[in-house]
Amino acid sequence: MQEGMVYNIQRMSVQDGPGLRTTVFLKGCPLRCIWCSNPESQKFAPQMMYFENLCTGCGACANACPNGAVVLLENGKFGRDPEKCTDCGVCTEVCPHQARVMSGKIMTVGEVMEVVRKDELFYLNSDGGVTLGGGEPTAGGDFFLALLQQAHDEAYHCTVDTCGCCPEDRFSETIRLADLLLFDCKHMDPERHKALTGQGNALILKNMRNALSSDTKVRIRMPLMPGLNDTEENLAAMADFFGEFHRHEIEIMPCHFFGRNKYLALNLSMPPLRQYTPEELRAVEKRFGRYGLKPVIV
């Protein structure tokens, strides 16, 4: 049985495709988008996350840690020494307040499907189903394809939330098995795309073309970042690209700071981003319209 790294399974989701869904988040991503709101999704290995606001200073973690990585802070709480911490997870097993939790665990296709099947009646009554997200789910390789195949074989509506940074042969299988792709479009210029995400977009746009030329339903999504990808040049390039396929609706996801606590929990610096004011967002939406694009906030 294929197995892979999963960092969350969210039941009763309403944002990741039609109806009520179970969203399976696979850990690991080839991109490093500077606006990522789920930094724990990027690495392919388990990570310990420490939420200082939940720590009560009981000291159970310090007694359990085999590496001496737990340190007493000035406020009486227990933090960690990142140079000694190996993400072994022993401290998370004894923390009574979930101040220390592990992100990521190995699961088999069968174990994931056991969770998925629990809400089958809700899928049937809401036209919902299963969504595979990440990270980048296609980066899960054989495990991802086996999981998608199993969900497809059991006749669940299958959605894949993807950035499209995936080998062509694997993505062709993804297109074949999925009922819906939520496909991110981050930037049209290859150099700007690389600067913002760590990777170019040639492969991504090729996979996008193949998806839009297929019979699989595609919803185009765009993380919208002030001053980074909302320029006139980028919107015009998007209009030209998607106009070839007579596609004009773009689901936009304006910049937010929902992941701030996760950066703190991983001892990472928060990216230097800013949110739109309501006036700025309305102005950007009008710019979309000038190029024949219809933005829909999700």
- What does the block give as tokens for 90? 């022993």
Please give the pLDDT value at position 163.
98
Whether cis (ω within 30° of 0) applies to the bond prior to 135 is yes
Phi, psi at 251, each rounded to 5° = -85, 120
Q: What is the distance between the alpha carbons of residues 254 and 298, in angstroms, rounded to a whole number?
A: 9
Q: What is the DSSP string of 4-58?
A: EEEEEEEEEESSSSSSSEEEEEE---S---TT-S-GGGSSSS-EEEE-GGG----
Sequence ranges of the chain with CATH classification 3.20.20.70: 3-45+104-297
CB burial string 46-83: b at 16+ within 10 A, e below: bbbbbbeeebeeeebbbebbeeebbeeeeeebbbbeee
Question: Each residue's pLDDT tens digit in the chain (298 positions)?
Answer: 799 999 999 999 999 999 999 999 999 999 999 999 999 999 999 999 999 999 999 999 999 999 999 999 999 999 999 999 999 999 999 999 999 999 999 999 999 999 999 999 999 999 999 999 999 999 999 999 999 999 999 999 999 999 999 999 999 999 999 999 999 999 999 999 999 999 999 999 999 999 999 999 999 999 999 999 999 999 999 999 999 999 999 999 999 988 899 999 999 998 888 999 999 999 999 999 999 999 999 9
Phi, psi at 118, each rounded to 5° = -60, -30
Question: pTM above 0.85?
Answer: yes
- What does the block give as tokens for 174? 């993804």
Sequence ranges of the chain with CATH classification 3.30.70.20: 47-102
Write out the H or E segment, with its range, that includes residue 294: strand 294-297
Please give the pLDDT value at position 102.
97
| CA distance to 250, 255, 282, 285, per residue, from 289 (Å) | 11, 20, 11, 7
Please give the pLDDT value at position 258.
87
Which residues, other chains included, contact 133 with Cβ-Cβ below 8 Å and sequence gap of 6+?
A: 16, 23, 24, 25, 26, 160, 161
Say whether domain 3-45+104-297 belongs to CATH 2.60.40.10: no
Please give the pLDDT value at position 1.
75
Q: What is the distance between the alpha carbons of residues 65 and 221, in angstroms, rounded to a whole number?
A: 43
Best CA proximity match to 169, nearest among 200, 143, 138, 194: 138
Q: Which CATH architecture has domain 47-102?
A: 2-Layer Sandwich (3.30)
Helix axes 232-243, 278-290, angle to 10 degrees: 40
- For residue 74, the 8-state DSSP code is T
Q: What is the distance between the alpha carbons of residues 115 and 132, in angstroms, rounded to a whole number?
A: 13
Residue pair 261/268 in contact (Cβ under 8 Å)? The answer is: no
